[in-house]
Amino acid sequence: MLALAVVLLGGVTFANVHLHGKSQVHEATRSHLSELNMLLHEESSVLWKAVADRNSPVNVARELGESRMRERALLKALQGDLPAGTLADLEKSVAAYRAVLDTELGLLGVGKISEAKALEKRETEPRFGRLNARLHSLEDQAADAADLANNIADLALGIAMTVAVAAIGRLLYRFEREHRLTTKANEEMLEQQQIALDTLAEHEALIRHQASHDPLTGLPNRRLLTELLEGSGGHDQALLLVDLDNFKPVNDQLGHAAGDDLLVGVSSRLLSAVRADDTVVRLGGDEFAIVIAGGDAGIAVRVAERIVTAVGDPFEIAGTEVRVGASVGVAISGGGRDGNQLLRDADMAMYQVKQGSKGGFAVYHEPDVRLIHQAVR
């Protein structure tokens, strides 16, 4: 019983695939006929559009040549899809229509527009009308054939499926319940496992993020900065240390909540002042660091200038205009100096600014170990 159902279903499936394949062939034929009809219609439009646009006959002939190359390809694609006699008649009709269009093009080329219009009305339009009707008829036949093949295939498959289901239904019924119970148990177990894994991954990600990021600003913290400096792989790096000027009065006068809001605002401006590949770090308190990707000294200086300018603009905190400044120390790696030395160099440069007028930046240079202060404000 089961073997008979399988054989029946396999045979009908094969027939179904074959019939659907024939349906696709008929659909392709209909599509080719429709495109051919459109191209033939466009040929006439190209002629009169050329007159309106004052296009040259040479350009028109070129456009017609491109259209006819596509038409020939479509007629070739129809070989085997249409009866030989039908295709031959269609090719003759197309050739006759083209001949009239070529005559029109010749008249237009010598400026005989009235004669071309007369020829269009007398021969071109009737020929195209007959050709259009013929193509539409062939399209309808192809569409009907495709629908018929699909309907037969669907009907046969439906009957076969009904017979197959009836034949094997009783045989499978006894196993279905056990299969459902087993599947449900497995799904529940997998779902619980996935929930546990997702929860564990979320906790691990949260712990990693908390360990390497500042909870107030969301910026990387000193630990992540150390990893960045140690993981440079010997490549040059540039480091900027940023210390806010006049931050303590904000905390004293407006409160710690206002101070926190100011730190968040400064973080946002620092992120806007650096490039996408650079890293902004909060070291703690009112100190920040920026790692410049690539270690280019010129870029580091330009970033320092932007930071001093951005932080120097007023902030709106707790309904009050607040002004702070930024003292920035810049250090460039090189000469085998490690991350700790780079931090010390940047700190020395920043200290030089703090000792001066503040609100600027200084660059630490090697090997002559001199500090250059450049006030921006």
Give the global pTM: 0.48
Q: Which of 286, 313, 345, 368 is catalytic?
A: 286
Residue ranges in the chain whose pLDDT is less than 50: 368-369, 377
DSSP for residue 55: -
DSSP for residue 199: H
Helix axes 84-109, 57-77, angle to 10 degrees: 180
What pLDDT shows up at residue 54? 60
Task: Please indicate whether residue 53 is annotated as part of the active site.
Answer: no
User: Cβ(239)–Cβ(283) under 8 Å?
Assistant: no
What pLDDT shows up at residue 222? 92
What pLDDT shows up at residue 368? 46
**Left, alpha or beta for 284 (phi > 0: left; psi -120 to 50: alpha)?**
left
**Nearest-angstrom CA–CA distance, 136 and 13:** 33
In the sheet that holds 238-245, the strands lie side by side as 279-284, 287-292, 238-245, 325-332, 360-365, 370-375
Sign of torsion, CA 244 248 251 254?
Answer: negative
Q: Phi and psi dihedrals of 209, rounded to 5?
A: -65, -45
- The encoded tokens of residue 35 equal 């495109």
**Nearest-angstrom CA–CA distance, 241 and 288:** 6
What pLDDT shows up at residue 83? 85
User: Cβ(227)–Cβ(213) under 8 Å?
Assistant: no
SS3 376: coil
Domains of the chain: 2-172 (1.20.120.30), 222-375 (3.30.70.270)
What pLDDT shows up at residue 370? 53
Q: Phi and psi dihedrals of 335, rounded to 5?
A: 65, 25
| Nearest alpha-carbon partner for 12 in 170, 152, 168, 147 | 152
What pLDDT shows up at residue 233? 64
**Nearest-angstrom CA–CA distance, 262 and 255:** 11
What pLDDT shows up at residue 369? 45
